[in-house]
Structure 1
Amino acid sequence: MEWSNVTWFLTALGAVVVLLTRVRLGGTVVDGTGHGAGRAGYSASLLRVHTIVGVLTLLGWVVALVTDQRAIALVVLAGWWLLAIVGLLLLARWLPSGGKHSEDAQGDAWGSGAGLSLLGHVGMVVGVGYFTFVALTDRF
């Protein structure tokens, strides 16, 4: 198995998760929070942190891969883990709020609802676990 091919592929998928999260949630923020009836809200600053940390982490990770610098990769791992945690916090918006006047959750489709977010952010945690393995064992 060629570790670098898997690493580059997962890096590209990480970029897609950061981009899609920004695109999907960027237009739904109103008055600092984004939410719908029956769903918990999220902070606009949390989305901003996700985007900024995501872009900086991706840039640092690509530099580490291209230059084959393990020290840079180990530092950037902190950004990957922060990104994964913030992504899971954003994913928590799909938990039902259970309010008296909340509506039933809407059906999920590939491009909307919790399905794509769940796939992307749980997949990101798995990918970051892989990145940690690759960096610690110097296989990138």
Structure 2
Amino acid sequence: MPDLTVALTVTLVLSLLAGVVVVLTRLRLRASHPGLTLALHTLLGGVGLVLWLLFLLSDTDADWRSLVGVLGLGCWWVVAICGLVILVRWKPSRARGKRAARVATAADSWSRTPWLSLWGHVGLFLGVAWFTFAYVTSQV
């Protein structure tokens, strides 16, 4: 296992929080928002988390480590983009007016507004940007 630096610690914490975002999104939307976007978000979130943690916790001399890191980052970027696409469901269109906002608010029973998902997915996007920065600058 590599030395636990500040960058690695931050990256591990953000990785676990990203996993929580993926799981909570699946739990919240499985009935009301089925489809390819949610399936990709969940599947690649799980695969990305496993690959990324394998990369972070593996021996720094392993030959396969770079490939696993790049694959994990690729999964995380797709997950972050899918999460932002899912957030679009709360933006009421002009055609549906106030009814769309009421339906979205009623479906979001944990916080009564889309703010929890907004914070989670914007945070996930920023976390993936941090993962990429830490990977490119060899901090992890």
Q: TM-score range by the shorter chain?
A: 0.7 to 0.9
Residue aligning to 1:82: 78
Root mean square deviation of aligned Cα: 2.2
The answer on 1:51 being equivalent to 2:42 is: yes
Residue 128 of structure 2 corresponds to which residue in structure 1? 128
Q: Say yes or no: does 1:17 pair with 2:21.
A: yes
**What whole-Å deviation, never above 9, does each CA across 1:72-123 have from its counterpart, x for those lacking one?**
2123211111111111110111111222575273468862421011101111
Match for residue 8 of structure 1 among 6, 12, 16: 12
Give TM-score scaled by structure 1 length.
0.81
1:32-47 superposed matches below 5 A: 34=33, 44-47=35-38
Farther off after superposition, 106-115 or 4-13: 106-115
Aligned residues: 127
Any gaps of 5 or more consecutive residues in structure 2? none
* Segments ≥4 residues shifted beyond 2 Å: 68-71, 98-102, 104-113
Q: Distance in 1 between matches of 2:84 and 2:96?
A: 26
Identity percentage of aligned residues: 37
Query: In structure 2, what is the Cα distance between the partners aligned to 1:72 and 1:97?
Result: 40
Distance 2:69 2:96 in 1: 48
Higher helix share: 2
Q: Which runs of 5+ in 1 are unaligned?
A: 29-33, 35-42
